[in-house]
Structure 1
């Protein structure tokens, strides 16, 4: 029933209402048509207090304000008083019912505009202010003019409030939309950074684990293998640490993207996989016809990185891995095959975070990626267009 208002708003409304009441009360006493001075003062005070109260709570409780305004109007007619300056408060009340009232109060204000106009017209016609002859054929046009004028004045106040209500709702919707768009941008950036973090950390840890496991067994036969493995672990960890620091900088500061991997970095990726003890075969036929878009290069690198990471983690230890790239005029076709360990052949695939991120990257570049076991092999295949992202 009561709206939440700031203390300053309530104070302003009360002060405005009190000033209005103090100004309107002398006019009420002057316009009164009573025979006794006490009755004149009493009726003037009652009507002024009701209208002043309606004006004071108009924004705090539009419904209560409308009820007080009707009570003041009924008291005015009950005392047989003519329209007076205090009735100006009715226009402010109708305005707030449309601008700030609930749905019920909104329509009650609309109905009050028509009912109030009709009541005013009837009161003036049957009262002593229209003429002693009542309604005749000659006075019907005047009666209709009074009805239309009263309806127009009351409805105009309500309509202005309705327009303000619409503007406020539009502003709130626009603010909510802007907030939602900002949250969506933040969420997209968070997902992108999480995807990059996964790609960097998962691949680097897979190489480190493979090197550590291989060095542990190879050191007994060839002590120099441990040194080579430690060098690979060190370089891989340093590279991963640099990438993680870059991602953390992006999280800490709202800066643009840092340097992203390109086709020139694929050889380093292949070298990391080969040093982990994997027999890697890469076939590129045909070669790129021109410099591919940066988004395609990044997507291709991350897809191959995740596919090779999966081969290291879930494939047969030391098993061969084949990578095939076909650069056509409008697209690049990707295929990565590796033997699948027997313990994982019957497990559901395609639900890990890495595979989901791989598909998301391909979709961002306008392409598609499929990752599934085919017999004794796990195959990652897909297409990335060389034009604009879909």
Structure 2
């Protein structure tokens, strides 16, 4: 019955209805009241018009707040007007405004009540004007009365129906706006979620790899400090270099997030040798095979995906592996096939994560492949953990 409506909108509706009441009610009394209707007393005639106008424009004042009550007020005012013996008056503009409100802001039930009121009201108005209002008083035959009554019915339906249809069109506009706003909100939420996923993926790729190298070097330095102090110094140097590189990457990522700048410099195939050197310093010797070699300069997105996938796969090898790592890259004319194999313990953490297929690293690698239209599988095969990816590269630059 009552719709949510802002105080400002309600005040505007009340003020507008009051102004129309003040303007149209005296106009109706002065030009239509004297000698009209079945009320002989002019004061009673004016009072009937005033009461009818008050009911109708009272409904207009709450048309957006309570369309059902507004429709009831319009019917009550029309009934008082007909009982007083008046035909169409300027105050009947309120009826058209109420029908508009029922179609524009009413519930589904009120919407169809408004439609029915337009049809029934048109029929009642035509019959009233024919048999009570004296419109066909000069008709000489029943055929003339029928023709006049039919014309009045058509005109009433057109007038009342036009108001209802206008409200229905505005209802469609409001619904389209709401749908568009919901769509924009959903797109905004989806974009925010994608951004969070991208941030998590980048942070994982940067921090996890660097920490894995740092941990491996720190463990090695601790054991070598007693017997080979010079190796401990080299390990500490590697730790410092790796930490500085990770800090630089994190600062770049945070700068992009803070200022919403474009993508900064991203790793390319030229940075793979640096990545392999970090893995060697961590105590893992990668055996690298590139066959066939890239036919040209692959797209930047493919180079980034290859780098990040290799970075995560080698990080897993450092954390869970116990030997060398085999890396194979095959640059085909339309795709690049990537495979990383490393041995894992039968009960080590690498085995559990491989079997379950879980972990943020595997998820991140799979997302990297999917972002460029490729696919990735990471699974345990016997004593080895195997990462296989196929990325489409299209036409090389």
TM-score in terms of structure 1 length: 0.95
Residue 296 of structure 1 pairs with residue 290 of structure 2: no
For 2:227 and 2:312, the matched residues in 1 are separated by 32
Counterpart in the other structure of 2:74: 69
- 1:2 Cα shift? 2.5
Report runs of 4+ in structure 1 exceeding 3 Å deviation: 131-135
Q: What SS does the aligned partner of 1:257 have?
A: coil
1:135 positional shift: 7.8
Aligned match of 1:186 in 192, 196, 202?
192
1:39-61 Cα shifts (integer Å, max 9, x gaps): 22331221121122122212222
For 1:296 and 1:12, the matched residues in 2 are separated by 60
User: Could you say what secondary structure the match of 1:258 adopts?
Assistant: coil
Please tell me whether the aligned partners of residues 345 and 351 of structure 2 are also in contact (alpha carbons under 8 angstroms): no
> Which residue pairs with 1:375 in the alignment?
382
Shift, 1:134, TM fit? 9.9
For the structure 1 residues 103 and 47, does the alpha-carbon distance in structure 2 shift closer, same or farther, using more than 3 Å as the test? same
Q: Is the 8 A contact 1:50 1:69 kept in 2?
A: yes
Distance 1:346 1:7, change over 3 A: closer
Partner of 2:339: 335
Residue 87 of structure 1: aligned partner:
92
Structure-2 separation of matches of 1:25 and 1:163? 30
Of 196, 199, 206, the match for 2:202: 196
Q: Structure 1: 5+ residue runs without aligned partners?
A: none
User: What's the secondary structure of 2:86's corresponding residue?
Assistant: coil
Range with greater deviation from structure 2 (124-133 or 136-145): 124-133
Superposition pairs of residues 133-144 of structure 1, within 5 angstroms: 136-144=142-150
* SS of residue paired to 1:265: helix
In structure 2, list runs of 5 or more residues that go unmatched: none
How many residues are treated as equivalent by the alignment?
A: 387
Kept in 2, the 8 Å contact 1:349–1:373? The answer is no
Contact 1:126 1:134 in 2 (8 A): no
Distance 1:326 1:346, change over 3 A: closer
1:236 match? 242
The answer on whether the counterparts of 1:125 and 1:134 sit within 8 Å (CA) in structure 2 is no
Distance 2:262 2:299 in 1: 18
Q: How far off is 1:128 after superposition? A: 4.1
Q: CA RMSD in A?
A: 1.8
Q: Determine the C-alpha separation between the residues in 1 that align with 2:388 and 2:53.
A: 83
Partner of 1:23: 23
Contact 1:287–1:326, Cα closer than 8 Å, also in 2? yes
Any idea what SS the aligned residue of 1:283 has?
strand
- Deviation at 1:172? 1.9
- Could you say if the C-alpha distance between residues 310 and 135 of structure 1 is closer, same or farther in structure 2, counting changes exceeding 3 Å? farther
User: What is the DSSP-based 3-state SS (H/G/I as helix, E as strand, rest coil) of the residue aligned with 2:142?
Assistant: coil
Aligned position for 1:366: 373
TM score, norm. by length of structure 2:
0.93
Q: Could you tell me which of 26, 45, 54 is aligned with 2:59?
A: 54
1:102 CA displacement: 1.4
Q: Which moved more, 1:214-223 or 1:300-309?
A: 214-223
Question: How far does residue 340 in structure 1 lie from its aligned partner after superposition?
Answer: 0.7
Return the alpha-carbon distance in structure 1 between the equivalents of residues 303 and 281 of structure 2: 24
Q: CA deviation at 1:338?
A: 0.7
For residue 124 of structure 1, the aligned residue among 129, 136, 158 is: 129
Deviates more, 1:166-175 or 1:31-40: 31-40
Match of 1:320?
Answer: 324
* SS of alignment partner, residue 277 of structure 2: helix
Q: Deviations over 1:19-76 (max 9, x none)?
A: 2222222234342332123422331221121122122212222111111000000111
1:175-324 counterparts in 2 under 5 A? 175-316=181-322, 319-324=323-328
Q: What's the counterpart of residue 12 of structure 1?
A: 12
On the 8 A contact 2:252/2:264 being kept in 1, the answer is yes
